[in-house]
Amino acid sequence: MAELLSIERDGEVALVTLERPEKRNALSIELRIELAETFGRLGDDAGVGCVVLTGAGTAFCSGMDVTQFGGDRDHKRRLVETSTLAFDAVGGCTRPVVAAVNGPAIAGGGGDQAPHPARARRLRGFLFEDERRAFHRALLGEDPDGA
């Protein structure tokens, strides 16, 4: 299986890239597990000052991989558990996290980047490549919704 994430280090900055451009970086079960493991490791790494999350290709993230929806009860449970695992790991990362949004960011791949405000507070900012939508929010742990 191809790598679902790439990690580049530049000093204290860790650049994490979703590597499913053929699926517009849709969050598969496997990718959600890899995200959780990666953000856990980076959060524990004293050499990491901040984490930047972006997507390969023309989209940041198209949300959940809908081709994996359905199935039996155990499969549906796994969908929920891996979603929670990934969002908790990103939102609960002990290092500042910045989303470098390089294209469309849909559903689970956009907006607050975490489904619960307590998790969203951990995100330090959102960077949008498109100048018309460019903004910085959630600096220094402020609520990303502006509430």
pLDDT, tens digit, 9 for 90 and up, residues 94-106? 999 988 888 888 7
Residue 28: strand, helix, or coil: coil
User: 122 or 59, which is more confident?
Assistant: 59
Q: Check: CB of residue 84 under 8 Å from CB of residue 36.
A: no
Beta bridge partners of 7: 16
Question: How much is the pLDDT for 66?
Answer: 87
First CA to last CA distance, the chain: 42
pLDDT in tens, 55-88: 999 989 988 898 988 888 888 889 889 989 998 9
Q: Is the separation of the CB atoms in 91 and 138 below 8 Å?
A: no
Q: Between these two residues, 28 and 115, which has the higher pLDDT value?
A: 28
The predicted structure's pLDDT at residue 108: 54
Domains of the chain by range and CATH?
5-141 (3.90.226.10)
Please write the tens of the pLDDT for every residue from 11-60. Answer: 999 999 999 999 999 999 999 999 999 999 999 999 999 999 999 999 89
Q: Give the pLDDT of residue 36.
A: 95
